[in-house]
């Protein structure tokens, strides 16, 4: 995997300095990629490389994540959506494709419902308007450590929650999610405020209703990509999504958990090629 082609750029939107990776190429249709909760933009590296011959790809570190600044005004969904609106305006993107994994999918739905004429299509990765019953009732992992004595310890902790990614890809994800701590050892790049706080999207009826309402109004095609090992989007929820949306199809990636682009990056690319109109 070659990542030198991605240029790291920054823009200040809503008083937050956001970092995004610009893969080029000028003049091609834009594609904006949004990671998940406590994630970072480099989860899209393989996908961006595969798409960059057909799209001008932008992969964003959302507020409080990766190399972007932590936000003093918090992390409500509307703040992320406002950031996305400001970013695409700052880049001069009149119409573009969205790819959103996990919370990036929530932001994609809310943005497109508000700006339906701006989005050509959406790739939603392992997320829906509401979680499955299995996901709601699943026990939580132990609290996330905020410090590790070594990088290897951080990788080992991440492996405990992800048996599907290759060793090399998991380590790469860890490299971009962690940094050396001022007090020694390693810590996360993401804002500590984002950790070990239950996401309201998983239980708040008002938020889930917003997502369902957004899905019903979105006019563009949507591809839902599930990880076959992830319980988050059940068959029942998926069928309801297909009934609610104007144009939603789905595909499952075998052997992948929730973060499909990290767990099975090449398989994710193959699963999305036809929808993206990209030939091998």
pLDDT at residue 217 is higher than 90: yes
Q: What is the distance between the alpha carbons of residues 201 and 80, in angstroms, rounded to a whole number? A: 14
Residue 82, phi-psi category: left (phi > 0), alpha (psi -120 to 50), beta (remainder): alpha
Instruction: Provide CB contacts within 8 A for 101, sequence distance 6+.
Output: 34, 35, 36, 39, 43, 125, 126, 127, 259, 260, 261
Q: Which CA distances in Å does 259 have to 43, 59, 157, 228, 270?
A: 8, 15, 16, 11, 16
Q: For residue 198, what pLDDT band results from cuts at 50, 70 and 90?
A: confident
- CB-based contact 253:157 (threshold 8 Å): no
Q: Which CA distances in Å does 38 have to 146, 191, 193, 268?
A: 12, 8, 10, 21
Q: For residue 32, what pLDDT band results from cuts at 50, 70 and 90?
A: very high
Q: What is the distance between the alpha carbons of residues 267 and 264, in angstroms, rounded to a whole number? A: 5
- CB-based contact 205:105 (threshold 8 Å): no
Instruction: Provide CB contacts within 8 A for 262, sequence distance 6+.
Output: 43, 162, 165, 169, 170, 173
- Residue of higher predicted confidence among 190 and 143: 190
Q: Which CA distances in Å does 90 have to 1, 86, 136?
A: 30, 6, 38
Mean local confidence (pLDDT), 127-134: 95
pTM, entire model: 0.96
pLDDT at residue 2 is higher than 60: no
Q: What is the distance between the alpha carbons of residues 39 and 222, in angstroms, rounded to a whole number? A: 22
User: In the prediction, which pLDDT does 4 show?
Assistant: 53
Beta-bridged to residue 224, according to DSSP, are 124, 250
Q: For residue 183, what pLDDT band results from cuts at 50, 70 and 90?
A: confident
Q: For 58-98, write each residue's pLDDT tens digit.
A: 999 999 999 999 999 999 999 999 999 999 999 999 999 99
pLDDT at residue 3 is higher than 80: no
- Residue of higher predicted confidence among 143 and 239: 239
- CB-based contact 250:274 (threshold 8 Å): no
Domain ranges of the chain: 7-135+199-276
Mean local confidence (pLDDT), 223-236: 98
E-strand ranges in the chain read 7-13, 16-22, 30-34, 56-61, 96-101, 119-125, 178-180, 186-188, 222-227, 248-253
Q: What is the largest CA-CA distance in the chain?
A: 52
SS3 content of the chain, % helix, strand, coil (to 5): 40, 20, 40
State the first-to-last Cα distance of the chain, in angstroms, to the nearest integer.
Answer: 16
User: In the prediction, which pLDDT does 1 show?
Assistant: 46
Please give the share of the chain, as a percent, with pLDDT higher than 90: 91
Provide the CATH topology of domain 7-135+199-276: Rossmann fold (3.40.50)
User: In the prediction, which pLDDT does 139 show?
Assistant: 62
User: In the prediction, which pLDDT does 87 show?
Assistant: 98
Reading the block at residue 159, the tokens are 């492996």
Mean local confidence (pLDDT), 100-125: 98
Reading the block at residue 252, the tokens are 């499952």
Average pLDDT, the chain: 95
User: In the prediction, which pLDDT does 239 show?
Assistant: 98
Q: For 140-175, write each residue's pLDDT tens digit.
A: 678 999 999 999 999 999 999 999 999 999 999 999
Q: Which residue has the tokens 């739905």?
A: 109
């Amino acid at each position: 995997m070659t990542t030198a082609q991605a240029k790291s750029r920054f823009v200040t939107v809503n008083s937050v300095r956001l970092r995004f990776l610009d893969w080029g190429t000028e003049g091609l249709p834009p594609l904006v990629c949004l990671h998940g909760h406590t994630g970072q933009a480099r989860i899209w590296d393989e996908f961006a490389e595969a798409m960059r011959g057909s799209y001008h790809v932008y992969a964003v570190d959302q507020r409080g994540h990766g190399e972007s600044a932590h936000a003093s005004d918090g992390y409500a969904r509307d703040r992320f959506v406002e950031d996305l609106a400001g970013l695409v305006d700052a880049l001069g993107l009149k119409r573009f494709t969205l790819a959103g994994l996990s919370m990036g999918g929530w932001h994609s739905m809310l943005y497109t419902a508000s700006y339906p004429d701006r989005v050509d299509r959406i790739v939603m990765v392992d997320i829906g308007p509401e979680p499955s019953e299995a996901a709601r009732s699943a026990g939580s992992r132990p609290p996330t450590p905020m410090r590790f004595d070594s990088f290897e310890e951080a990788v080992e902790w991440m492996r405990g929650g992800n048996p599907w990614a290759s060793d090399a890809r998991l380590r790469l994800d860890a490299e971009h999610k962690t940094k050396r701590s001022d007090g020694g050892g390693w810590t996360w790049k993401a804002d500590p405020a984002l950790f070990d706080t239950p996401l309201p999207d998983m239980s708040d009826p008002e938020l889930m209703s917003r997502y369902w309402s957004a899905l019903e109004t979105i006019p563009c095609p949507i591809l839902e990509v599930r990880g076959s090992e992830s319980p988050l989007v059940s068959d029942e929820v998926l069928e309801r999504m297909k009934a609610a949306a104007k144009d939603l199809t789905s595909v499952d990636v075998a052997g992948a958990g929730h973060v499909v682009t990290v767990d099975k990056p090449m398989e994710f690319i193959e699963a999305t090629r036809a929808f993206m109109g990209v030939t091998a």
